[in-house]
Chains A and B, each alone.
Chain A
Amino acid sequence: MSRAKRVSAPVLDLVWDDLRLRFPGQKNPVLDGVGLRLEAGRTLGLLGESGSGKSLSTLAALGLLPRSAIHVGGTIRLGDTDLLSLDARARRRLLGATLGAVFQDPSTALNPYLTVGFQMSEGLRRIDGIPGREAREICLEALETCRIREPRRALRSRPHELSGGEKQRVLIAMATVRHPDFLLADEPTTALDVATRGAVLEVLLERGHDLGMGLLLVSHDIFLLGECVEQMAVMYAGRIVESGPTRRLLTSPRHPYTRGLLAAAPRLEGPRGRLPEIPGHPPAVDERLPGCPFAPRCSLALPSCAQERPAWVSLGEEGGFACPVTETEG
């Protein structure tokens, strides 16, 4: 399959630049300098444990953060546009059209009172002004490419009549029905049956590929990401600790946390969820150290680690990482 090229203007990259967020009542920022680059038409994996801030990073780009979140600094840019400084209306215009999103739990994401067809076609009809019949055809096609069996029946049905895997596929079709340039998928298979995960992930990747979308795949599973994304970023305690091409991360990881993750689970059928081999837990937001947040769990930690914030070590094409200790390894 060849990458479907867009006829329209070249699509810009989606860039998180030193994004920092805080919640009231907490003294430490929950996102502490997140930097990511999701290139147009490419795939990026965002890896992190729950509470690391990976979902917040996604929601921030969509403008769907909890209302209490405070923007401390940094930007999320699409070309020259800073998404965080857009007003609500302008930001809304991007959603569905430029940025699509798929979330974790398909069982609660669809509106139980409305038919699948209504929900799917709503953006087409209401925002793009496409007449109902035509919108229906577009939805049918999207459902078909997302391998929904009997798409006509699916359009007429209500969410509770679908299985979990079907629901997530419907949500993928729905998020992409207006052909956005980017698709942000936050743990899209975690809530599903083990048996259906692979198929749904395949649909997601295929759909992204066919439409030439930039795909951000958020997951806690390093091997899942390893098999499907080109670039990867590892998040820990609100920071990106390592990033780079997937191959490089898997074969020669530089940050001790990434190494720990790789050592934690065997390649095949590895345990999901917890990463038990690294002792300890990620710190709560207000228990994070001023220096390297990983220090309490790191076997290489030096006394200075807890105090000084590790500088970013760039590896050029090969990404980079944030650890002065392994930097000297050469």
Chain B
Amino acid sequence: MLTRLLLGVLTLLAILVASFFLQRIAPGGPFDLERDMPEAARQALIREWGLDRPVPEQLGLYLKGLCRFPPDLKRSMVQPDYTVWEIVGPRLQVSASLGFAALCIALVLGIPLGVLAAVHDGKMADRVTMLVALTGVAVPAFVLGPLLKWIFALELGWLPESRWVGPANMVLPAFTLAALPLATAARLVRSEMGTILRGDVVRTARSQGLSERRVVFVHALPGALVPVIPWLGPATASLVTGSVVVERIFDIPGLGTTFIDGAFNRDYTLVMGTVIVYSILLILMNLLTDGLLVLLDPRARSARS
């Protein structure tokens, strides 16, 4: 666990350094966009932000700021009235709740769908479920989102079409975002469950005369969930990616949009701030995953105790 944590910190550092350098070697800078700014003022800004110093030195300074408590994410270069945290914080809240809702939907619907398909292997329920799952993989969020919006907001008028003001506004974006991980979870569970249902453990359970429901849920399900856990890391990454699109479609002030805007405006500090938040999120997710695996895997557990 400790090595894992160390590795996480190392990864974080690597990502930081990489994004830092990528920013600096790219042509252009944060103050190029304002055309009418006098050259002298631009130079003054560049000096003020230390952008004229060697890149490693800039990086050192930035990292030093991070080591403070609370970590100093600096001010936004483009909106200097705000600190990066003031911009990122509230948006993180929005994105996190959206992402969390989507992940919950994906797991709560995807796992039972996978189980259902595996139990009805080859039959109608299986085919239908897997078609749904494949559709989830093949219909991208930027098609599904507008489609859902069209049906449920514009045609039926059941749900608000966009923006982020109440729980009802969350429904469509969360489902849009959940489609891909839902489909993936269903496929993962189906394939593992299928293997387990054909395996020895289930044969033993059945030979005990246990009800099919008990066989599936008590004996087969725990094993079928195992591959879902290591997948949670990559799933979070794909949620983060997907959120960029979903936020745009549904007009949600989230972190993905912040990142894109920051990138467009060459707002170095804002981009770095977002990158840091995302990385920490992903590292935490991976740690959580590892912890869950240890908890679930009987071998790992007894090795520890």
The answer on direct contact between A and B (beta carbons under 8 Å) is yes
Taking CB atoms, residues of chain B closer than 8 Å to A101 are: 207
Quick one: closest B residue to A59, CB to CB?
B203
A103 at the interface (CB under 8 A from B): yes
Quick one: closest A residue to B299, CB to CB?
A160
Taking CB atoms, residues of chain A closer than 8 Å to B204 are: 103, 109-111, 119, 171, 174
Contact of B209 among A66, A92, A113, A159 (CB under 8 A): A92
Q: Are B201 and A111 in contact (CB under 8 A)?
A: yes
Taking CB atoms, residues of chain B closer than 8 Å to A110 are: 201, 204
Quick one: CB contact mask for A95-125 with B, threshold 8 Å, 1 for yes?
1110011010100111111100001001100
Q: Closest CB-CB distance, A211 to chain B, in whole Å?
A: 16
Q: Closest CB-CB distance, A153 to chain B, in whole Å?
A: 13
- Please, how many angstroms separate the alpha-carbon atoms of A114 and B201 in the complex? 11
Within 8 A of A (CB), among B79-134: 121
Taking CB atoms, residues of chain B closer than 8 Å to A174 are: 204, 208
Which of B52-60, B143-151, B211-219 lies at the binding interface?
A: B211-219
Q: Are A126 and B203 in contact (CB under 8 A)?
A: no
Total A-B contacts with CB atoms under 8 angstroms apart: 79
Taking CB atoms, residues of chain B closer than 8 Å to A62 are: 206-207
Query: A103-B200, A112-B223, A171-B204 known; A127 and B298 CB under 8 Å?
Result: no
Taking CB atoms, residues of chain B closer than 8 Å to A114 are: 218-219
Quick one: closest A residue to B220, CB to CB?
A111
A150 at the interface (CB under 8 A from B): no
Q: Are A113 and B222 in contact (CB under 8 A)?
A: yes
Query: A108-B200, A108-B201, A158-B298 known; A127 and B223 CB under 8 Å?
Result: no
Within 8 A of A (CB), among B175-227: 198-201, 203-212, 214, 218-219, 222-223
Q: Are A64 and B206 in contact (CB under 8 A)?
A: yes
Taking CB atoms, residues of chain A closer than 8 Å to B203 are: 64, 103, 109
Taking CB atoms, residues of chain B closer than 8 Å to A161 are: 302
Contact of A113 among B200, B212, B214, B223 (CB under 8 A): B223
Taking CB atoms, residues of chain A closer than 8 Å to B296 are: 113
Q: Closest CB-CB distance, A220 to chain B, in whole Å?
A: 19
Q: Closest CB-CB distance, B181 to chain A, in whole Å?
A: 24
A3 at the interface (CB under 8 A from B): no
Query: A113-B222, A160-B298 known; A93 and B200 CB under 8 Å?
Result: no
Query: A93-B209, A174-B208 known; A109 and B201 CB under 8 Å?
Result: yes
Quick one: CB contact mask for B221-251 with A, threshold 8 Å, 1 for yes?
0110000000000000000000000000000
Q: Closest CB-CB distance, A58 to chain B, in whole Å?
A: 10
Q: Closest CB-CB distance, B56 to chain A, in whole Å?
A: 51
A84 at the interface (CB under 8 A from B): no
Q: Are A113 and B199 in contact (CB under 8 A)?
A: no
A94 at the interface (CB under 8 A from B): yes
Quick one: closest A residue to B198, CB to CB?
A66
Query: A160-B302, A171-B204 known; A111 and B210 CB under 8 Å?
Result: no
Contact of A88 among B121, B205, B208, B212 (CB under 8 A): B212
- Please, how many angstroms separate the alpha-carbon atoms of A112 and B200 in the complex? 11
A261 at the interface (CB under 8 A from B): no
- Please, how many angstroms separate the alpha-carbon atoms of A100 and B204 in the complex? 10
Taking CB atoms, residues of chain A closer than 8 Å to B223 are: 112-113
- Please, how many angstroms separate the alpha-carbon atoms of A171 and B207 in the complex? 11
Quick one: closest B residue to A89, CB to CB?
B211
Quick one: closest A residue to B212, CB to CB?
A88
Q: Are B302 and A96 in contact (CB under 8 A)?
A: no
- Please, how many angstroms separate the alpha-carbon atoms of A66 and B211 in the complex? 17
Taking CB atoms, residues of chain A closer than 8 Å to B212 are: 88, 92
Q: Are A64 and B207 in contact (CB under 8 A)?
A: yes
Taking CB atoms, residues of chain A closer than 8 Å to B121 are: 67
Quick one: closest B residue to A158, CB to CB?
B298
Q: Are B200 and A95 in contact (CB under 8 A)?
A: no
Chain A residues within 8 Å of B, Cβ to Cβ:
62, 64, 66-67, 88, 92-97, 100-101, 103, 105, 108-114, 119, 122-123, 126-127, 158-161, 171, 174-175
Pairs across A and B, CB under 8 Å, 14 listed: A94-B209, A96-B210, A101-B207, A103-B200, A108-B199, A109-B201, A112-B223, A112-B299, A114-B218, A122-B210, A122-B218, A123-B210, A127-B210, A159-B298
